[in-house]
Structure 1
Amino acid sequence: MSRAIGLLLGFAADRVLGDPRRFHPVAGFGRTAAGLERQLYADSRLAGTAHTAVLVGTTTVLGVALERLTRKHPILHTAVTAAATWTVLGARSLEREAETMAELLEEKDIPGARDRLSHLCARDATELESDELARATVESIAENTSDACVAPLLWGVFGVPGLLGYRAVNTLDAMVGYKSPKYQNFGWASARLDDVLNLVPARVCAVLTGVVAGRPREALAVSRRDAPKHPSPNAGPVEAAFAGALGLTLGGTNSYGSCAEDRGTLGDGPAPAVDDIRRTAALARRVGIAAAGLAALAALLREAQGAIHSRRKGKRWG
């Protein structure tokens, strides 16, 4: 039970403490990745693949070592799993950013909200007004509920290597996985690997969103119908499910500096307003709790299956 308990304790630590203000391991990984990028960068997929392979491989190997060193010591294994889970989750920090954006917009502080939006997403907020800032916030909460909470918890079913490996990939995607002239080729490997690792978690997140909102049919109907309009194979299902669950219409054209991206129209209701930010954050919180319970249950079942297999193997040899 150590893995399941560790996942739940790590989730609880994130809910109570959020990200550490200083010396965050993910921030340290980001600095290491940036340093290696300066050494390896070239406008080619090969260079980007090498960059991804070194960083993700090293991080995953560290996770394997921690798993093997602690697997015969349940209390230590629980503690290591909890620490790794807390490290890779970002749900509480996401909620805090949502609360900050809601407060700024409620106070009509549009310049402050424009500046703060960069903490949630990379879109250009220079000319965004209150309604567009609210839409950007709601969409970012939805997408990051999967990336920063549901996906790492589900990869945690596979232990510390799954937790650390997933976060390494997702962090690299956030750093270099852009369709900009600089990263179109170099960031290709990180972006594609992130897409693969999020295929299942994003769809689980979409289902959980509908279930915990009490609108499973609406959420899944909108997700099935509108997700293909979104350019991301994983953000699409999640954002569309949130749109259906909240009764909103999300999507539109977003500006990312020199690039504009049409994200389609997701949902049937009104466009998000400032009041919808707190509703979205509350829904994201419930999705995270459900995902933590699901991950713990899956970890228990996986360990039970492994124990049964080991006993059967022992009997054959005996």
Structure 2
Amino acid sequence: MRIVVIGGSGHIGTYLIPRLVSAGHEVINISRGKSTPYQSSQAWNGVKHVVLNRSEEERNGQFGKKILELHPDAVIDLICFSLESAKQLVEALEGKIQHFISCGTIWVHGHSKEVPVTEDQSRSPFGDYGIQKAEIESYLLEKARRDGFPATVLHPGHIVGPGWVPLNPAGHFNPQVFVQLAKGEEVTLPNFGLETVHHVHADDVAQAFVRAIENWNSSIGENFHVVSPAAITLRGYAEEVASWFGQLSNLKYLPWNEWHLTVEENEANATWDHIAHSPSCSIEKAKRLLNYQPRYSSLEAVRESVAWLINQGVIKIN
């Protein structure tokens, strides 16, 4: 098929586009032309690159039209963040493509009620990101079930991989936490460190997109979690990271109203978002209908990312 990938130069696209090329598809990558893949691959030599500024084209009402002019059989949208953005694209493509796959987020669930969370549980999303992604999902699945629009929605967890800093055991993105754990220094966690985070390696997310295409009949009109086999607690995460460096974790705990004063405001905000959600999601539906088989556990995915950060000198350890 001719597959257009919108936003294919980022975390997911770095792994997805080579997988699509290897599967024999013709691939067109849409980006603003400001970033390059995190990993090199000969597969990129066969990819057509089209530079489009989505926001600008949407303001002009031209984005969907320009995607359609590329004559895609399938479109993978990795960077849709508002309902209006989704509607403009779908209205242009309706009746003219075989498959449309949208990247969502596990944050569409909001607070967990029963864990692991399944895709069909009742939801209470909060925060602009989760709310808007939930609106996009509802719109796409309604279009699929009512009008036959061939939509699938995949919901990744906290994406990790070589090339960027992973969500750390304190629930934010300061790589210094990994340094402290590696040196056996004291690390303070919020509350009792029992909130959860649910990572996924970017290549496993890419695998799920390819499996959705391969299992077209099973994926149309459906939503799927795309995460590692199990979530991890902040405490367990910290203990495991320390052990990678031959250390016993030296952990301290503070209630939230004290802990958030010990870090920068942006770090506190990131941690609050993650521990308020505390995701733990089931992948049984994706395994059953898509044959999704994640290669990485949460900790294996993070360990690969941390090794890359050490090699790049971002994490400096004697």
Query: TM-score, normalised to structure 1's length?
Result: 0.30
Higher helix share: 1
Higher strand share: 2
